[in-house]
Structure 1
Amino acid sequence: MSHIMTLVAPAGGLQAPLVARIRAALNDLGGQAGTADWLAEEEAADLPFSLLAAEQATAIARGALDGAPVDCIAQPAEGRRKMLLVADMDSTIVTAETLDELAAHAGVQAQIAAITQRSMNGEIDFSTSLRERVAMIKGLPLAALQKTWEHIELMPGAEELVRTMAAHGAHCAIASGGFTWFTARVAERVGFQSHHANILLDDGHALLGRVEEPVFDRDSKLTILKQLAAEHALPLSATAAVGDGANDLAMLGAAGLGVAFRAKPVVAASARARVDFGDLRALLFAQGFRAAEIVEQA
């Protein structure tokens, strides 16, 4: 079979009759779907298929689901294991927007969160919005960074995704519109080998309300994806990227496996693959990893 449809649901949510229904729908509408290969019991399964484009098969599968909370990722069967992962951080590897959380210590969280939302939806320019938001926390004591970090939580499946890919030889990197103060700590905690983000400027005691120029933005994320692929002698088809906001769209579009994760509407509508219901382990299942191969949290 030329393609694979990976079906992923929250644990216990993927039942054999539902998988059989999707297989039948693919066959009824011009495809040739084979027997399901279960990657994780009642959670993830592969359906091999031919004679349909990935986009066609995805649309058919989603229609057959009739609203069931199952993610569908269709792609060519060849080369599905990726050797480079580039991940957004805020609302992707961690559950929060770190700048929004930091703003709470300056009493401007609501104002900054509103700007963040518009930026992630692609309504306003990211670089301009970042400069505006950082200016609003000028004078914030550096101790607020540590206080914010103490309350940051990892997205479910983040550590398993990174540690499993790294254990199989992949380079894993963060590319974030956030700040290196946080990406360095997330990288160490989760197991990323490198991290790339904006640098907050300070005077040794408090924030200056600026970041080092140029701003690390949408184009920067794409540049990092291409740069790391070149450094590791990889074609872009051998790369994976994951993110949720408009500034992730360029790298998601360029990566071999670009996944919009619980993404903003503009991103979910544009990405070739998306995960709305599963956790970040869905990216492992999409690459054909079985539950027994997943490296648990350190």
Structure 2
Amino acid sequence: MTAARFLVVLDADSTLIRNEVIELLADEAGRRAEVQAATEAAMRGDVDFAASLRSRVAALVGVPVSAFERVRARIEPTPGVRELTAAVHERGGVVGVVSGGFHEILDGIAPGLGVDRWRANRLEVVDGALAGRVDGEIVDAEAKAASLQAWASELGVPLRSTIAIGDGANDLKMMAVAGLGLAFNAKPAVRAAASLVIGPQDLSEVIALLP
């Protein structure tokens, strides 16, 4: 594999895209309000992310897999995302996404947004419907940081040449290990810990910071 000049890793929900996918899935179960409140608490860092995710996924039990297509159709890419990924590629960089969300949705949208590699959670399915459980290891704050480090190593990119972009408490460890940690559309604790805060909700603002 050819070494990259640098690596940009983004969170997915409320960063790469404007939505929180688990809330769209909860719409399908008629339980959006309770899931939305739990998501906000997790993003603020008020509760353990993995425990919160398990409880929120439990609320999705019975949602048919046919709902994935409806949810993908509702996804809104964040303004500037395609401009940013194009600029990264023009400069010899690689774009990764690591998400506490779900492969079932991300697999269908990431390539069209210029993402080169991605990692997310998977949902357990039984008889064509969600079982209310995460399938496999949960992608939490530690997993996000580990993914950035592993991808940088595979690409021959020193950590000082990595950029992490996120909005929630589970992005803090990833932002801490990166050369540059950017708070985007972020909760107060994340803004306080970031190297820089991106004000407008437009990812093209990041282009000026690329090496």
Tell me the equivalent position of 1:116: 39
1:130 deviates by 0.3
1:287 deviates by 2.4
The code of the aligned residue for 2:44 comes to N
> Aligned partners of 1:237 and 1:113: how far apart in 2?
35
1:242 to 165, 184, 188: 165
1:181 deviates by 1.0
Q: Is the 8 A contact 1:122 1:246 kept in 2?
A: yes
What percent of counterpart residues are identical?
A: 38
1:282 to 200, 205, 209: 205
1:189 deviates by 1.4
1:260 aligns with 2:183: yes
1:137 to 60, 65, 73: 60
> Aligned partners of 1:97 and 1:266: how far apart in 2?
19
The code of the aligned residue for 1:210 comes to R
1:121-175 Cα shifts (integer Å, max 9, x gaps): 0000000000000001101111111111101100001111112202322111110
Q: Is the 8 A contact 2:50 2:140 kept in 1?
A: yes
Residues paired across the two proteins, number? 208
> Aligned partners of 1:161 and 1:93: how far apart in 2?
10
1:204 deviates by 4.6
1:67-109 Cα shifts (integer Å, max 9, x gaps): xxxxxxxxxxxxxxx6101110000010010001110110000
> Aligned partners of 1:262 and 1:225: how far apart in 2?
20
Tell me the equivalent position of 1:199: 122
Cα-Cα RMSD: 1.4
1:124 partner SS = coil
1:211 aligns with 2:142: no
1:154 partner SS = coil
1:84 partner SS = strand
1:226 aligns with 2:163: no
2:131 partner SS = strand
Q: Write 1 or 2 for the structure with the bigger share of helix.
A: 2
Aligned residue runs from structure 1 range 1-298, under 5 A: 83-277=6-200, 279-287=202-210
> Aligned partners of 2:125 and 2:196: how far apart in 1?
39
1:176 partner SS = strand
> Aligned partners of 1:85 and 1:186: how far apart in 2?
18
Change (3 A) 1:278 1:136: closer
TM-score (norm 2): 0.95
The code of the aligned residue for 2:82 comes to E
The code of the aligned residue for 1:133 comes to R
Runs of 4+ in 1 over 3 A off after TM superposition: none
Q: Is the 8 A contact 1:163 1:190 kept in 2?
A: no
1:211-241 Cα shifts (integer Å, max 9, x gaps): 1222111000000010011111111000111
The code of the aligned residue for 1:258 comes to G
Bigger Rg, which one: 1
1:277 deviates by 2.1
> Aligned partners of 1:252 and 1:169: how far apart in 2?
21
TM-score (norm 1): 0.68
1:282 deviates by 1.3
1:250 deviates by 0.6
Tell me the equivalent position of 1:22: none
Unaligned runs of 5+ in 2: none
